[in-house]
Every structure is written in structure tokens, then in C-alpha cells.
Amino acid sequence: MELNRRTVIAGAAAAGIAATTLGAGSAEAASGGRKPVKELFGKLADGTKVYRWSLENGGTRLRVLNWGGVVQGLEIPDRKGHYANVSLGFDNIDDYVAKTPYFGALIGRYGNRIAKGQFTLDGKSYQLSVNDGDNSLHGGKQGFDKHIWDVEPFTKGSDVGLHLHYTSVDGEMGYPGTLKAKVTYTLTKHGDWRIDYEATTDKATVVNLTSHVYWNLGGEGTGTIEDHELSIAAGRYTPTDPGLIPTGELAKVAGTPFDFRKTKTIGRDIRAGHVQQVQAKGYDHNWVLDKGITAKPEHVATLRDPRSGRTLKIATDQPGLQFYSGNFLDGTLTGTGGHTYRQGDALCLETQHFPDAPNHPNFPSTVLRPGQTYRTSTIHTFGC
């Protein structure tokens, strides 16, 4: 039987249960939003300071770096009121710079892959930075995740949050147009984490922003997510070639391991031997959401850890959801809790437009033109 999350949080506050990672008392977190707190996290090789911002509201605790807009920690309670950090990350900036597989990062200018780093727009061909075999992944070698963002904290009514700003100049990583991006992280009074993305350009370009948090609702470093239960409201997905580039087909999930329309454990079919799973080493695909593009975020996926009772519900206005089952975690990375991360120790659920959309006219367009504003929102609702 699942308990009301606010009841659990209030109980935790009354019992004085302490935070395991963020270091703040539960009573303070449960009492409402707290003004974001800034502290030095480290320095880059050139001496640039990297700061960490800590936010609390509605029983959710969030830590964010100005380097890459990285979510360095996110804590929520389980059914007994015990807090755990449910996102993978590092405890130092050097590992983020040298080793990170996009832990918690803001992704841009284009999330996911573009085949051979090439596309044509308005009759002109562009060559992007290539960093994933022959392809461009998550914006190239120096994507938005590898830059310092300007951060502006705010409190608005019962909400607390951060406005993050970054300007990508014309030609950066091969993309046309100077793109001004603004991303807002908000913690609501109910503990929801909302992300609002905005961008404008002075030349026609392509844009696809997303967040790359690695989730383990049992707590980072606690082991496999194969016993997590997942549902995705999608009757189709985009199969890929061996380079994980979409073939252009919108294939039905029915009768395949990709059918998550009814809740099932991630591990149930992950070793089913489907050719798509074999070449991806698990799940690393875009699900075509049944709702399509919508004016407001709509619920599209639910993740639950049966051991802790923690749940994550995702709502978005985007047409796609990339589910990645942590296939390339290999035990060489040590996280914030001192544990090594191995294959399948976390998963990503990235709200997005489709991978390689600039090269597939049948996919929803990712073109942004001068005078237009790119806007999209994703809401993460936590429960127990």
C-alpha cells in the first residue's frame, strides 16, 4: 500500500530523520521552500570557479552545478520517510570534466544523435562536431553540458528555482545561428521538479534540448534497476541501425520487448535477444509517444522501485522519450556515495524530439527560425 507523499514527509520531519547526502534536516525541507544556497564546488583547469546551488521544497532536495547545468544530487524520501539521492553523479568537478557520461547534464544544442554529424537546412549542408563514432551525440565534443551557465536563483510564491542562461555562438560545434538558451529548474511546493526550456536564434538552426539525469529510485550506488517497474504510453518506437541512428521506421512495440504500455519490470525482457537490444546492449531507443506534441505537459511514463516504494512520474509536451538502461556503465566510475556504477545501475528517461530528425522528413521538425521561440516543459512528480 502506497502512502501519501506529504504524509511520509511530515512523518520524517517529526521523527527528525536526517538527510543522507544533502546534509540538511528533513524538518526544514518539509516546512516549505528555502532560498537557493550557493557554494564553491571546485575549479576548472583554467581557474574558472564552479558553483553548486542547493534547493529544497515540498520534501525534494536538489543540487545543481553551473557547469553544464548538472543535477549533482536529487533526494526524495521512501515509504518510511528515509531520504536517498536517486541520481548518479560525482563529488568533484575533475571527474565531471574527464569522465562523465552526461550524468545529470543539460543537453544541447541537439540531444541524442545526428548521423555522421551532417544535415541540410534550406539547401545548405552543415558538418557538426563528431564525437560518437561517425556521428554527433548530444551537441558534439563541447556540447551545452561542458560549458559554464549563468545562474539566477529565484523564489516565486511557494516555488523556488534557478534560471540558467547560455549563449551558443554561430558556428559552435558546427551549428548555424547564435542560440540564446534559457532553462528554468523549479521545485514546487509539492516537491515536483519542473524544467522549462526556451531558446531563440538569429539564423535558421536545429535545436533539441533535454536533461540527462541517470535515475535509480533505490538510491545511487545501490545496484541494478532491472527490478524497477516502468510504463511508457507509446505504441511505437524508432528502430536504429548498428550506430544507434534511427532507420526512419516507426515500428510497433506490440509483440516486442519494447512494449511498456502495461507496467513491467525493466529486467523482464531486457535479455530477450531482439536484434535491436543486441546492438544497443539493452534499451537505448526513442519511444514515439501516443499523445504526440501537446500544448501542455501530459503524463507519459511512470517508474517505480518496489523495494523503497519511490515513484517518478514524467509529464512532457514533447513527442518522444529516450529510454536508456545504463548499458555503457562499466564499473570504472565511482559516484557520490563512494560506490562504482556498473551496467544497468541506472536509467535515463529523456523527453525530446526524435534522434536524427533533421535527416528524416517524416519525423517532427526540430527547425527553429528567427522570430520564433523554442519552448518545451517537462515535469517530474515524485511519490512513495
The set of cell numbers assigned to 75 is 533526494
User: CA 256 → CA 197, 226, 279, 372, distances in Å?
Assistant: 33, 17, 15, 39
Report the pLDDT value the prediction gives residue 24, as an integer from 0 to 100: 38
Report the pLDDT value the prediction gives residue 8, as an integer from 0 to 100: 52
Name the stretches of the chain with pLDDT < 50. 1-2, 10, 12-31
Report the pLDDT value the prediction gives residue 34, as an integer from 0 to 100: 76
The set of cell numbers assigned to 158 is 511557494
Enumerate the active-site residues. 212, 350
Report the pLDDT value the prediction gives residue 16, as an integer from 0 to 100: 41
pLDDT in tens, 196-210: 999 999 999 999 999
10 Å Cβ neighbour count for 362? 9
Report the pLDDT value the prediction gives residue 23, as an integer from 0 to 100: 41
Report the pLDDT value the prediction gives residue 35, as an integer from 0 to 100: 87
Pairing verdict, β 113-114 and 105-107: unpaired
Torsion sign, CA atoms 296, 57, 147, 129: negative
Integer Cα distance of 150 and 279 in angstroms:
39
If we measure between CA atoms, which residue out of 80, 38, 81 comes closest to residue 59? 81
pTM over 0.85: yes
The set of cell numbers assigned to 291 is 499523445
Integer Cα distance of 133 and 245 in angstroms:
11
Query: At CB < 8 A and 24+ separation, what contacts does 36-42 make?
Result: 36/153, 36/154, 36/160, 36/161, 36/162, 38/153, 41/65, 41/67, 41/72, 41/93, 42/92, 42/93, 42/94
List alpha helices for the chain, DSSP H: 5-15, 26-30, 93-98, 275-280
3-state secondary structure of 218: coil
Residue type at 353 in one-letter notation? H
Report yes or no: 169 and 154 within 8 Å, Cβ to Cβ.
no
Query: In sequence order, what are the residues at sequence separation of 6 or more whose Cβ sits closer than 8 angstroms to the Cβ of residue 113?
Result: 132, 135, 136, 137, 243, 244, 245, 355, 356
Report yes or no: 238 and 265 within 8 Å, Cβ to Cβ.
no
Report the pLDDT value the prediction gives residue 9, as an integer from 0 to 100: 52
Report the pLDDT value the prediction gives residue 21, as an integer from 0 to 100: 38
Report yes or no: 298 and 312 within 8 Å, Cβ to Cβ.
no
